[in-house]
Structure 1
């Protein structure tokens, strides 16, 4: 049996240091050397893994230390390391940041320690020089710190700035494995939920090539590869979240792209067939399917187009009359009566759930959630606790009818009931993980 690929985690003291840029640059740089590279994302995120796919041509798995039980986490990491030479995982937020409750932790540092993957730390050099080494030393010696493989310093202003940074690292034992010069042209475009999706970013392949060129020229790729640690074999347990049907119509396009690969893989492993369709292309769920799933995404950016796509909306209503339909976040908004875009224009949606939503009245909702369904659904029975998260700016402007689930935050504190259930149709802002 071939050994599993070694892995490492890209972490940072805080968000915005350049983790995604470094991750995709390293992934592409090693792939160009002929290595079979796989990607992973520590935590709940749909956008960054799509950039990993653009960099290496393979789907990137989410490794969520809070929402996933340890056997699932280890099994997914082992699966990612099969038929590969290197796994490069990207952390979320700061390396010690994340929910800690009920014996679970979503912090990237804890995921790295659990998998015995070292962490490559990227630190933003703006407004600091020798002090960057002190930050790195503090991260490496903080209680519960993973093994730090080395440091990459990003956004270095000049050769003099680089020499000052090197002077700081001469005083500590951590290796400095690269200094990346500041270049605003390497920045990736952003919008309200983070980076603009990889599939919508103009010239994405050329952008990633340019980033890889810069990183390969300014970082010690040999030392970074040598620092990765072996991945332990672990069986992949069956996911407790069952397929919502035997043949599932799944919306997939630029407006409906937020669905975790491990869920799709688990549904396939349980014997389900997935049939993808595009609401933006005015497709309806196939008549020979017995369930429909509308993931989250950015329907608010294309609300007028969706409202005009009568084939999709009429077909969805016909489907929902006899078979289950579920919507997550953006999918939930489309299942509602109306969606008000950021300009204040109100668009008629499917009208299958008694809820109206708005992007004109923005309010950030963010965090892990624990949901308990009030009634059986195709994907889980009533009373089962489900782990997931919310991340949206949309607000509910009008709502009535039956809630879908009782909700709690990461620590188990009760939140108001959420979502809706009407006949065969269910939906909520809750993104299911496990």
Structure 2
């Protein structure tokens, strides 16, 4: 068996598209589930900062869905994070990586940086292009050819035709793609589509609809089994070059446990707080913490012995009344004297109210839903010392919300970006809208565990 440093011929494929809405998530999730039903161990990955798609990937693959985002974690960590994710808890037989937006769409103003194409190059994986063929004929071949020629370093190894109108339409498309030498590995008709429910920030997370989500994943597996040549996909994945980058290691990243004592860190979960990267818990554990989950919808108290709390993102607006009804946990958080780190949904939960529904009251702010989406990568600098950052330190993050707070920041702001201050540092609380990936700055995990002591 190869070690975490030996070259590893991990079969892998990137599922991409010319633009959002072509069916990447449908095909990627269906592939994961169908390959798993074949008895393969499948490692699921997602390009970009998205939290929701990896939930469907995890349900399909039976292991955590993980993100590959060069902007958030650095170019140098992408191949190592892929190898880490494909290695734990057991080595995978194949990795399936779902892209983000269009194949060549990167961070705004940075050409293709952090795009699907960029990640495909970094992990040296072939691309399986999903095409929405609605109202298209031979032009689908021209589009595919252009996508391939735009960056010759990105290898498009096959196409899956989506939303095909009829057998005649499929024949026309296959003939056209044969002209440009791109194999068609599957064709999905419009009638066969399977849709997951969506809301204002994308798909409804798996944790909110567990039975229905399982039924959707099963249907996607059956769809892919019936319409995609899985053997051809496996053959394409096996053409990927061996991974020569060592696996990313959380213990190495944080420098090992920060002491003999193992303080308890409570990590918010459950349907209202589904936005968390798998590496967060891994880094906290590597730094010497015992990480336990708390569900603010259902758990009346923090886990026994909790010394710090991490509350990530999610949809508190969809569960405001139920969160308000858990008065004992709200009261405990209002008086908790250990470090608290809160991102986005966690920020709202710690405030006085959300759309006039009472929250924890730990922070002197009110929050409300708005009619606009705040979205994008951010290059921030810490303004105030806190349990996870030191003033003056740079960090990269991502905003994704339709709410606003009053005030927009505290007297001791957490961050500064775009010439404005954001977030709140109050006592041992650090809270803001900024989502961060701690694999990109693992010192946050170490500092939080040290702050527990």
1:351 equivalent in alignment to 2:361: yes
* Alignment-derived partner of residue 380 in structure 2: 371
* Alignment-derived partner of residue 428 in structure 1: 432
* Alignment-derived partner of residue 353 in structure 2: 338
C-alpha deviation, 1:388, in angstroms: 1.3
* Alignment-derived partner of residue 329 in structure 1: 344
Give the paired residue count.
421
Cα separation, 1, equivalents of 2:422 and 2:128: 39
Cα separation, 2, equivalents of 1:403 and 1:118: 47
Cα separation, 2, equivalents of 1:337 and 1:310: 13
Checking the alignment, whether the CA contact within 8 Å between 1:139 and 1:145 is kept in structure 2 is no
C-alpha deviation, 1:209, in angstroms: 2.0
Cα separation, 1, equivalents of 2:242 and 2:81: 11
Checking the alignment, whether the CA contact within 8 Å between 1:363 and 1:395 is kept in structure 2 is no
Structure 1 residues not aligned, in runs of 5+: 341-345, 409-413
* Alignment-derived partner of residue 270 in structure 2: 253
Checking the alignment, whether the CA contact within 8 Å between 2:23 and 2:162 is kept in structure 1 is yes
1:290-305 → structure 2 map (5 Å cutoff):
290-305=307-322
User: Per-residue displacement from partner, 1:13-54 (whole Å, max 9, x unpaired)?
Assistant: 100111111011111111111111110001101100000111
1:227 equivalent in alignment to 2:236: yes
* Alignment-derived partner of residue 21 in structure 2: 16
C-alpha deviation, 1:336, in angstroms: 1.0
* Alignment-derived partner of residue 267 in structure 1: 284
Identify the match of residue 388 of structure 1 among 397, 400, 412.
397
Cα separation, 2, equivalents of 1:171 and 1:143: 20
Cα separation, 2, equivalents of 1:323 and 1:59: 29
1:85 equivalent in alignment to 2:88: no
Give the superposed CA RMSD.
2.2
Cα separation, 1, equivalents of 2:305 and 2:138: 64
1:109 equivalent in alignment to 2:108: no
- TM-score norm. by structure 1 comes to 0.92
C-alpha deviation, 1:218, in angstroms: 1.6
C-alpha deviation, 1:216, in angstroms: 1.6
- TM-score norm. by structure 2 comes to 0.88
Describe the shift of the 1:231–1:392 C-alpha distance in structure 2 as closer, same or farther (beyond 3 A): farther
1:207-222 → structure 2 map (5 Å cutoff):
207-222=216-231
Cα separation, 2, equivalents of 1:240 and 1:415: 31
Structure 2 residue matching 1:183: 3-state secondary structure: helix
Cα separation, 1, equivalents of 2:112 and 2:131: 27
Structure 2 residue matching 1:15: 3-state secondary structure: coil
C-alpha deviation, 1:200, in angstroms: 2.7
Checking the alignment, whether the CA contact within 8 Å between 1:41 and 1:60 is kept in structure 2 is yes
Describe the shift of the 1:219–1:266 C-alpha distance in structure 2 as closer, same or farther (beyond 3 A): same
Describe the shift of the 1:154–1:279 C-alpha distance in structure 2 as closer, same or farther (beyond 3 A): same
Checking the alignment, whether the CA contact within 8 Å between 1:156 and 1:179 is kept in structure 2 is yes
Cα separation, 2, equivalents of 1:403 and 1:122: 47
C-alpha deviation, 1:398, in angstroms: 3.8
Checking the alignment, whether the CA contact within 8 Å between 1:337 and 1:356 is kept in structure 2 is yes
Structure 2 residue matching 1:284: 3-state secondary structure: coil
